[in-house]
């Protein structure tokens, strides 16, 4: 019984609350994310998406409640780091390293040697579009879109079971957007990786994700299993607001 639960639920959130200056930024009574689900998180600016991500990654202390990853509170142990890969913003990159150095470092954390990483990076040659490797630049000298590519690739070489990306489609060119969508879909379908992706692009999320969470003022107000009407439903919601 215990084991079944472990297999089924990747993330379990209970009574999670965070407020700044008396305003509730995140307020989620209950949310569970099953293993292998791919979840799209949408909502306008200030809806609490990034704050939610940060609490799930133990970067912000919740005012109340907890985030359980594999049934263990992320704030009180570090096991989740073994199987969780995430990229929220450039703050996750060590910007004075070259991309190669950074990949080797991240790979080393997961006990992969340089040769292994180099072979794995060959799979990304399309995704990188020869703009990342051997360019003789530090990460800080790359454009924002290329930094995103570095961040996403660094996530994937960690072979995660849980992948969290905050607005990965922003700043990258259309070709890479399409490649990234396919990449995420494949990872999710073939390797059963649980994906959690936030985006402002409704087309992208509805295409990639099986389940959409719509946030407004810190609350999840809609929890939709994606179907052919989802895009329309979301568009209606956002156009009413504006």
Partner 1 sequence: MTLTFLNHQIKAFWRSKNTGKSIAMRIFMAILIIYLLLNVLVVAFFMDTILEKTFPNQDSIQTFNSFIIYYFLLDLLWRFQLQELPTLAVRPYLHLRLKKNQIINYLSITSLGSTFNITPLLLSMPFLIKVLIPTHGFLVFGAYVLSILGLTLTNHFFSMWIKRKVNLNAIWMLVFLGTLLLFVLLDFQFKLFSISALSAQIFGQLLSIPSISLIFLVLAVLIFLMNFRYLKSNLYLEELSKASVSHKSSTEIPYLGRFGLSGDLAANELKLILRNKRPRSVIMTSILFMFYGLIFYNRPDLSDYPILFCGMFMTGIFIINYGQFMFSWQSAHFDGILVSKVSIREFFKAKFLLFTLFSSITFLLTTPYVYFGWRVLLIHFVMLIWNLGVNTVLVLFFANQNYKRIDLSKGSAFNWEGVGASQWILSLPLLITPFIVYFPFSYMDYPDAGIAFIGITGLLFIISREFWLNLLIKQFQNKRFTIAEGFRNK
Distance CA 117, CA 106 (A): 9
**Least distance in angstroms from the C-beta of 130 to partner 1:** 16
Measured CA to CA in angstroms, residue 122 lies from 132, 180, 223 at distances of 12, 16, 38
CB atoms inside a 10 Å sphere around CB 192: 11
Distance CA 156, CA 228 (A): 29
**Least distance in angstroms from the C-beta of 18 to partner 1:** 11
**Do the Cβ atoms of 209 and 225 come closer than 8 Å?**
no
Nearer to partner 1, 60 or 68 (CB): 60
Nearer to partner 1, 218 or 230 (CB): 218
Nearer to partner 1, 155 or 224 (CB): 155
**Least distance in angstroms from the C-beta of 88 to partner 1:** 7
Nearer to partner 1, 98 or 146 (CB): 98
**Least distance in angstroms from the C-beta of 195 to partner 1:** 16
- Name the site residues for partner 1 (rule: CB under 8 A): 54, 57-61, 78, 81-82, 84, 86, 88-98, 100-101, 104-106, 108-110, 136-138, 141
DSSP 57-93: TTSS--SEEEEEETTEETTT--GGGGTEEEE-SGGGS
Nearer to partner 1, 78 or 235 (CB): 78
**Least distance in angstroms from the C-beta of 96 to partner 1:** 4
Distance CA 198, CA 167 (A): 5
């Amino acid at each position: 019984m215990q084991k079944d639960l472990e297999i089924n639920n990747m993330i379990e959130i209970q009574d999670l609350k965070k407020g700044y200056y008396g305003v509730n930024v995140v307020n989620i009574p209950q949310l569970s994310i099953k293993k292998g689900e791919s979840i799209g998180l949408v909502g306008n600016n200030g809806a609490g998406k990034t704050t939610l991500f940060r609490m799930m990654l133990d970067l912000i202390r919740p005012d109340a409640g907890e985030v359980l990853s594999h049934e263990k509170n992320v704030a009180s142990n570090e096991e989740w780091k073994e199987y969780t890969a995430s990229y929220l913003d450039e703050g996750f990159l060590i910007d004075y390293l070259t991309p190669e150095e950074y990949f080797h470092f991240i790979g080393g954390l997961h006990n992969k040697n340089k040769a292994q990483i180099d072979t794995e990076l060959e799979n990304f040659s399309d995704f990188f579009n020869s703009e990342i490797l051997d360019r003789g630049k530090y990460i800080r000298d790359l454009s924002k879109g290329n930094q995103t590519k570095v961040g996403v690739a660094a996530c994937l070489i960690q072979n995660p079971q849980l992948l969290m990306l905050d607005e990965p489609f922003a700043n990258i060119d259309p070709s890479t957007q399409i490649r990234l969508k396919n990449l995420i879909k494949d990872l999710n379908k073939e390797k059963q990786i649980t994906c959690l992706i936030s985006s402002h692009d409704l087309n992208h999320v509805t295409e990639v994700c099986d389940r959409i969470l719509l946030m407004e003022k810190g609350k999840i107000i809609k929890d939709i299993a994606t179907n052919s009407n989802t895009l329309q439903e979301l568009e209606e919601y956002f156009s009413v607001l504006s």
